[in-house]
Amino acid sequence: MLPGKASDPGRTGSDNRLFVNGCLWGLRSGAHWCDLPERYGRWKTVHRRFSRWCHKGVWERVFEVLTADHDNRYLMIDSTIVRAHQQAATGKGGGKDQALGRSRGGLTTKIHMLADALGRPVRFVITAGQVGDVTTAPALLEGRTGTAVLADKAYDSNALRARIRL
């Protein structure tokens, strides 16, 4: 599943565990890549490999394998807002794929998530901050079945209820 096995050409992935732990440390702490502790390797190397895995879809495949055995009896759906720094929109190349939007709180990104009955994430959708929750729900629920969907009032819509009952 992970690239860089001993049988692959080029450098081996003997440090896959160390690399993944370094990525998780960075994501958990919210620190800049340049603040990555030395024990995980050079921060530029870790960041470059992280970016490469993102572009190749490796993280999505890992996530699918980890969530393959889920309890779909009850599905839970919700979202949260992540505020972006004012300079986030001034990056090189524009912000066409950045999921950055303007809402009452300023520049924000919204993370929509579907979880199984045990609270384990099943699917994520990332949108601009001003996107409504109910408009993203069909994409989260696509291909999923369950006896009940638990959601807050942001998902209160007759059209969504009809789609869930199918």
Confidence check: pLDDT of 88 > 70? no
Strands (E), the chain: 74-83, 101-103, 106-115, 121-128, 148-150
- Mean pLDDT, rounded, for 112-116: 90
Q: What is the value of pTM for the model shown?
A: 0.63
Tell me what the mean pLDDT of segment 138-151 comes to. Answer: 84
In whole angstroms, give the CA distance from residue 46 to residue 63. Answer: 19
Work out the pLDDT band at 11, boundaries 50, 70, 90.
low
pLDDT > 90? residue 113 = yes
Average pLDDT over residues 127-148: 86
